[in-house]
Amino acid sequence: MDLAIILALDVLNGTASLFLLCVGLAIIFGMMKIINLAHGEFVMLGAYATVIATNAGVDIWVSMIIVAPLFVGLVGLLIERCLIRFLYGRLVDSMLATWGLSLLLIGLVTTIYGNTMNGVPTPLGGFQVGEYRSSWYTLFLAGMAVSVMALVYALLRLTRFGLIARAVMHNPNMAATLGVNPDRVYMITFGIGAGLTGLAGGLLAPLSGITPVMGAAFIAKCFITVVGGGATIISGTLTASGLFGLINQLGAYLTTPVYGEVILFLSAIFLIRILPQGISGRFFKGMS
């Protein structure tokens, strides 16, 4: 029984981290059809922002929840203005540019801060479940995932900006005819996506090794989850990260972490095969 609770917590933890890591990518990819290969580096920037702010004396909660997303969001806006805005509708060029961007960011951070970084300890400590121990931070992560989910849902469904954004994504020309400025909507959306990714980086900073190349570990898994999830950002990403988180964590527990990953990848392939066009098939029509 205790073991079952602990395993459930593991799955919750896996799902929550995967969701937090993916939601920013899902917004950028799902809404703007930009494959952001620098996604992992946005996570890295979030983690660095958190660590540097905390080491400079800022309260750790403030640096995780406010400094990290704000900083990466601003970086995202800057990048959108200088680079991404020239690439809308050019899927492959956007990949090339963001791959270059990811190398650039890694190089920049290495040049400034070196190859290793003093991390921040995990706050909150652990608790007891029967004979097992788990950390409060796991539950906090799950809570944050739920809040982010609610926030994004509210933003897209309940606000005027969300309405406009969805309209622009659906048909930019029509939206422009109605007096909307698609350029601005894209810019803000990219900034929000980057900010959420930065938040994920900040939240994972106390649990990770902080290096300039840490982002590489996330990109493939996030990409698979987002595409597997489909067009509807919240429900798609949530179901995919829930499914993949469950499969990965249970697979890792029951077999080995290696086969945990292999099983995850295999199930992703079969998921896509079973739902070839999926809910989101129409979404990608005409892109190549």
Partner 1 sequence: MTDARNAGLQSILVLAAATGVALLPRHLDLFALMQVTLFAAMSVLALSLAFIWGFGGILSFGQTAFFGLGGYVYAIATINFGDSTNAILLAVVLPALFAAALGYFVFYGKVSDVYLGVITLTVTLILFNVVNSTAGEVYRIGIARLGGFNGIPSVPIFNMPFHPEIPLSPEASWWITGGTLIALYLLLRLILVSRFGRIAVAVRENETRAALLGYDTRLVKLGVFVIGGAIAGLGGALYVNWGAFVGPTIFSLSLSAEIIIWITVGGLGTLFGPIVGCFVIQFLVASIGSQQTFNSNLVLGAILVAFVLLLPKGVVPTFLLCLVQLRKDHRARPNTTAPKERAMQVN
Partner 2 sequence: MSFTRRYFLRSTAAAASATALVSPVFIRNAFAAEPILVGSLHDQSGTMAASGSPMVDSLKLGVEEVNAAGGLLGRPLKLVHYDTQSNIQLYSQYAQQLSVRDKVAVIVGGITSASREAIRPTFDRFRTLYVYNTLYEGGVCDRNMFITGTTPAQTVAKLVPYAMSKGGKKVYIIAADYNYGQITAKWMQKYVKENGGETLSVDFFPLDVTNFGPTISKIQAARPDLILSALVGGNHVAFYRQWAAAGMKDRIQIASTTFGLFNEPATLSAAESDGIIGTFGYFEELTTPASTAYVDKLKKLSPGIPYISELAAATYEGFNLWVEGVKKANTIERLPVIEALETGIAFDGPSGKVVVDHKTHHVSRNTYLAVVKDRKWIVTETFPDAQPLDTAAVCDLVKNPNDNKQYEISL
Q: Which residues bind partner 2 (CB under 8 A)?
A: 3, 6-7, 9-10, 13-14, 17, 106-107, 110, 114-122, 124-127, 131-135, 137-138, 204, 206-214, 216-218, 249-250, 252-253, 256-258, 260-261
* CB neighbourhood size of 30 (10 A): 24
Burial group, residue 239, by CB count within 10 angstroms (0-12, 13-18, 19+): middle
Is the distance from CB of 215 to CB of 102 less than 8 angstroms?
Answer: yes
Piece of the chain touching partner 1 by CB under 8 A; list 61-69, 93-101, 129-137, 150-158: 93-101
Is the distance from CB of 79 to CB of 57 less than 8 angstroms?
Answer: no
Interaction of residue 276 with partner 1, rule CB under 8 A: yes
The partner residues of 210 in beta bridges, in order of sequence, read: none
Shortest reach from residue 145's CB to partner 2, in Å: 14
Shortest reach from residue 111's CB to partner 1, in Å: 5
Partner in contact with 120, chosen from partner 1, partner 2, none, beta carbon below 5 to 8 Å by kind: partner 2
Could you say which of 122, 253, 261, 279 contacts partner 1 (CB under 8 A)? 261
Interaction of residue 110 with partner 1, rule CB under 8 A: yes
Of residues 156-175, those binding partner 1 (CB under 8 A)? none
Contacts 24+ apart (CB under 8 A), 250-254: 250/7, 250/11, 253/7, 253/10
Task: Give the C-alpha separation, 81 to 177, whole Å.
Answer: 23
In one-letter notation, the amino acid at residue 79 is I
Non-local (6+) Cβ contacts of 28 within 8 A are: 34, 36, 39, 189, 190, 193, 194
- Output the CA torsion sign for 121, 138, 52, 97: positive
Interaction of residue 254 with partner 1, rule CB under 8 A: no
Interaction of residue 78 with partner 1, rule CB under 8 A: no
Partner in contact with 114, chosen from partner 1, partner 2, none, beta carbon below 5 to 8 Å by kind: partner 2
Is the distance from CB of 6 to CB of 129 less than 8 angstroms?
Answer: yes
**Whose Cβ is closer to partner 2: residue 3's or residue 266's?**
3
What is the per-residue binding string for partner 1 in 30-69, x denoting contact by CB under 8 A? Answer: -------x--------------------------------
**Whose Cβ is closer to partner 1: residue 190's or residue 223's?**
223
Shortest reach from residue 84's CB to partner 2, in Å: 25
Task: Give the C-alpha separation, 32 to 89, whole Å.
Answer: 8
Chain contacts with partner 1 (rule: CB under 8 A): 37, 83, 86-87, 90, 92-93, 95-97, 99-108, 110-111, 216, 219-220, 223-224, 227-228, 258, 261-262, 265-266, 268-269, 272-273, 276-278, 281, 284-285, 287-288
